[in-house]
């Protein structure tokens, strides 16, 4: 019995360790993969480490993450320790009140804290960037330090400080020579927790950052929009650094007695390096904020050839602050909170909303001589008749990606109802998007995807419920790209640009848009009403629709260009024969998403939550 007990105990430990560390091991292995695939190892290569080292955005993000984490840890540890000691000497009512207040940011959802801090900085007129991110990190790290230090302080003899002063110590000496050494375990634990919380934070950092300041979490999140194995390389380096730090933390105490002088010198050197690095960083971000010509561009993640930004900066002797958003709604939230940008690249329905709410200014098309390069098919659409406010950027459709070796060609005649065919149960990715999923259901039922008729919306909801129960689909995001390249499923709902890239990697796949109609979407460049560099903003838009820039952009991103020359070259070259690169505009049932009123949008959101609640 004892042997069995030991065996199962060991098995449990091994399984737990495998559960925690096997994903990390897989990440490290695939950081040396020679191909882009995140699921198939095709050969050993240092390719992604080379790309990582040459990625200036990642290097800047590492600097921001490390310096902010260190500074926030030092300041929050000092504030938290002093506050914990002060609380121990306070009255019971005050103590309990402050401890309860201290628990609020710990228990509060991060998104609430993030938006609150964003609104606070906006109302105070703070320019979002390095300083606002640092202040936010100090704010949310300090409560954790207080929570770690206070129990240690509370366990001390309350007369300890008085005894030290009776023996001749000053109040400061009593604090530093007596109190602090006795609670150092709590201080150290609080500091480690603060550093971890700061270095790891994404949600709060995302909302309070600006002017091109990004930490590692923000950059990695943006990189996940497309297949980008440099994430694995970055993760591996971080893991190795953590392991080295842990080893040193265990080895240092063993040699501490023999190397006190060396340790002191090392601390001084490291402190000097940190001060120089932080100062250089602040000067750098200050330079960006104070440059004569700074253009702030706000675009979706992984949606531009970043080398074009460098070319534009050199050509026009300016500084571009480039930021990315997760969704149109996220972009709108930051814009409505008071964040200022010069050029935005939103989608059709959001452009319509921004025009209605007077966030945009009309374009001066005389300043855009490259307008002659645009395809006629992408201009004068319902979201902006006459293109008074917007210049087309990319366009495409939503359709079905399918495996030609698995899906019967006859089944394609079912259109969107193919996604309800029991033959392909458990072999389907649905796009994890409320609006696109309801579009599919509404089109399958023969309704407009912009309907406001509650009966039609309810029918579409029931269609999605029946599909969920019949087909057991996986609701996926951008991870569908690598999964379909690897052939993990036979069917997937994808955007046409993603389909073009996937098919180029896996020729067994093809793409079609059902005859019942689909969403034909347009993303476009617009200039905000508060733009401080109107002429430079026009130069940027004109630069992006030049023949050379448009071709470079569509080659990098994979989506359909709105510029004639780039469109033709990609259609007949890289994506020759790939139907997804050529949006079908001949079908009268195809539609553009219109702006939804709040009540309708809320209704769709409620029903989509129920669909996914299984």
Q: Are 72 and 138 in contact (CB under 8 A)?
A: yes
Q: Are 384 and 352 in contact (CB under 8 A)?
A: yes
d(CA 389, CA 363): 5
**Per-residue model confidence as pLDDT tens digits over 83-95:** 888 887 778 888 8
**Per-residue model confidence as pLDDT tens digits over 549-588:** 999 999 988 899 999 999 999 988 888 888 888 888 889 9
Domain ranges of the chain: 2-52, 53-255, 294-394+522-572
Token pair listed for 599: 């009540």
> Residue 229's pLDDT is what?
78
Q: Which residue shows structure tokens 């990004």?
A: 214
Average pLDDT over residues 180-190: 85
Residue 2 has pLDDT above 60, yes or no: no
Average pLDDT over residues 347-367: 95
Q: Which has the minimum average pLDDT: 124-138, 174-188, 354-368, 526-540?
A: 174-188
73-79 contacts at long range (C-beta below 8 A, 24 or more positions apart): 73/141, 73/191, 73/194, 73/195, 73/198, 75/138, 76/137, 76/138, 76/141, 76/142, 76/144, 76/145, 76/194, 77/145, 77/187, 77/190, 77/191, 77/194, 79/138, 79/142, 79/145
Q: What angle do CA 546, 548, 552 make, to 5 degrees?
A: 115
Instruction: Quickly count helices (H) and strands (E) in the chain.
Output: 25, 11
Q: Are 528 and 342 in contact (CB under 8 A)?
A: yes
Residue 498 has pLDDT above 70, yes or no: yes
pTM of the model: 0.76
What CATH number should be reported for the domain whose range is 53-255?
A: 1.10.3720.10
d(CA 325, CA 223): 11
> Residue 255's pLDDT is what?
59
> Residue 90's pLDDT is what?
78
Alpha-helical regions (H) of 450-546 = 454-471, 480-485, 496-505, 534-544
> Residue 287's pLDDT is what?
46
The band of 288, judged by pLDDT with boundaries at 50, 70 and 90, is very low
Residue 225 has pLDDT above 90, yes or no: no
Tell me the CB-side half-sphere exposure of residue 173, using CA atoms within 13 A: 9
> Residue 442's pLDDT is what?
96
**Per-residue model confidence as pLDDT tens digits over 13-54:** 788 878 878 888 888 888 888 777 666 777 888 888 887 887
d(CA 596, CA 469): 28
d(CA 157, CA 302): 57
**Per-residue model confidence as pLDDT tens digits over 403-412:** 999 999 999 9
d(CA 583, CA 580): 6
Residue 11 has pLDDT above 60, yes or no: yes
What CATH number should be reported for the domain whose range is 294-394+522-572?
A: 3.40.190.10
> Residue 227's pLDDT is what?
65
- Percent of the chain topping pLDDT 70: 90
> Residue 252's pLDDT is what?
63
**Per-residue model confidence as pLDDT tens digits over 247-286:** 776 776 665 555 555 455 555 555 555 565 555 555 555 5
Distance, C-alpha 72 to centroid of its chain: 22
Total residue length of the chain: 614
d(CA 521, CA 398): 8
Reduced 3-state DSSP string for 59-110: HHHHHHHHHHHHHHHHHHHHHHHHHHHHHHCCCHHHHHHHHHHHHHHHHCCH
Strand, coil or helix: 485: helix
Residue of 493, 504, 521 whose CA lies nearest to 399: 493
d(CA 140, CA 103): 11
Average pLDDT over residues 111-137: 87
DSSP states along 422-466: GGGTT-EEEES-HHHHHHHHHHHTT--TT---HHHHHHHHHHHHH
d(CA 17, CA 276): 40
DSSP states along 117-140: HHHHHHHTT---SHHHHHHHHHHH
Contacts of 248 (CB under 8 A, 6+ apart): none
């Amino acid at each position: 019995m004892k042997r069995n007990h030991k065996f199962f105990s060991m098995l449990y430990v091994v399984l737990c360790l495998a559960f925690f560390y096997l994903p990390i091991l897989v990440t490290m292995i695939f950081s040396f993969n020679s191909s882009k695939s995140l699921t198939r190892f095709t050969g050993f290569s240092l390719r992604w480490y080379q790309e990582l080292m040459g990625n200036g955005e990642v290097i800047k993000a590492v600097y921001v993450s490390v310096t902010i984490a260190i500074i926030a840890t030092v300041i929050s540890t000092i504030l938290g320790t002093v506050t914990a000691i002060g609380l121990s000497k306070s009255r019971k009512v005050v103590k309990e009140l402050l401890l309860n207040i201290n628990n609020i940011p710990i228990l509060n959802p991060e998104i609430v804290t993030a938006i609150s801090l964003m609104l606070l900085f906006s109302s105070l007129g703070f320019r979002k960037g390095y300083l606002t991110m640092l202040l936010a990190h100090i704010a949310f790290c300090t409560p954790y330090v207080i929570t770690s230090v206070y129990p240690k302080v509370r366990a001390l003899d309350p007369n300890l400080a008085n005894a030290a002063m009776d023996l001749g110590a000053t109040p400061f000496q009593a604090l530093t020579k007596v109190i602090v050494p006795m609670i150092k375990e709590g201080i150290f634990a609080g500091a480690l927790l603060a550093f971890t919380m700061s270095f790891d934070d994404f949600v709060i950092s995302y909302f309070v950052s600006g002017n091109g300041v990004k930490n590692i979490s923000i950059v990695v999140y943006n990189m996940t929009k497309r297949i980008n194995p440099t994430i694995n390389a970055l993760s591996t380096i971080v893991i190795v650094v953590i392991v080295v730090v842990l080893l040193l933390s265990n080895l240092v105490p063993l040699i501490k007695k023999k190397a006190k002088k060396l340790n002191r010198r090392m601390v001084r050197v490291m402190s000097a390096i940190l001060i120089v690095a932080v100062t250089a960083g602040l000067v750098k971000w200050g330079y960006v904020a104070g440059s004569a010509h700074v253009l702030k561009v706000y675009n979706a993640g992984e949606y531009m050839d970043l080398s074009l930004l460098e070319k534009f900066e050199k050509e026009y002797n300016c500084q571009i602050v480039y930021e990315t958003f997760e969704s149109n709604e996220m972009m709108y939230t930051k814009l409505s909170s008071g964040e200022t940008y010069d050029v935005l690249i939103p989608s059709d329905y959001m452009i319509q909303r921004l025009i209605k709410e007077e966030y945009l200014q009309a374009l001066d098309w005389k300043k855009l001589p490259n307008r002659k390069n645009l395809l006629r098919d992408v201009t004068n659409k319902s979201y902006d008749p006459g293109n008074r406010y917007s210049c087309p950027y990319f366009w495409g459709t939503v359709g079905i990606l399918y495996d030609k070796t698995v899906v019967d060609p006859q089944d394609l005649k079912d259109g969107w109802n193919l996604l309800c065919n029991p033959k392909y149960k458990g072999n389907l990715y649905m796009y994890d998007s409320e609006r696109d999923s309801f579009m599919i259901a509404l089109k399958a039922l023969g309704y407009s995807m912009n309907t406001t008729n509650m009966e039609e919306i309810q029918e579409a909801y029931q269609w999605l419920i029946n599909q969920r129960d019949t087909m057991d689909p996986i609701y996926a995001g951008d991870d569908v790209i690598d999964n379909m390249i690897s052939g993990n499923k036979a069917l997937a709902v994808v955007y046409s640009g993603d389909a073009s890239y996937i098919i180029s990697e896996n020729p067994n796949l093809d793409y079609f848009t059902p005859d019942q109609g689909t969403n034909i979407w347009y993303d476009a460049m617009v200039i905000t009403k508060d733009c401080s560099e109107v002429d430079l903003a026009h130069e940027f838009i004109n630069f992006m629709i030049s023949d050379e820039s448009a071709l470079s952009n569509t080659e990098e991103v994979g989506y359909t260009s709105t510029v004639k020359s780039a469109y033709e070259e990609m259609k007949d070259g890289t994506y020759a024969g790939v139907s997804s690169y050529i949006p079908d505009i001949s079908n009268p049932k195809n539609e553009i998403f219109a702006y939804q009123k709040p009540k309708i949008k809320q209704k769709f959101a409620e029903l989509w939550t129920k669909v996914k609640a299984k």
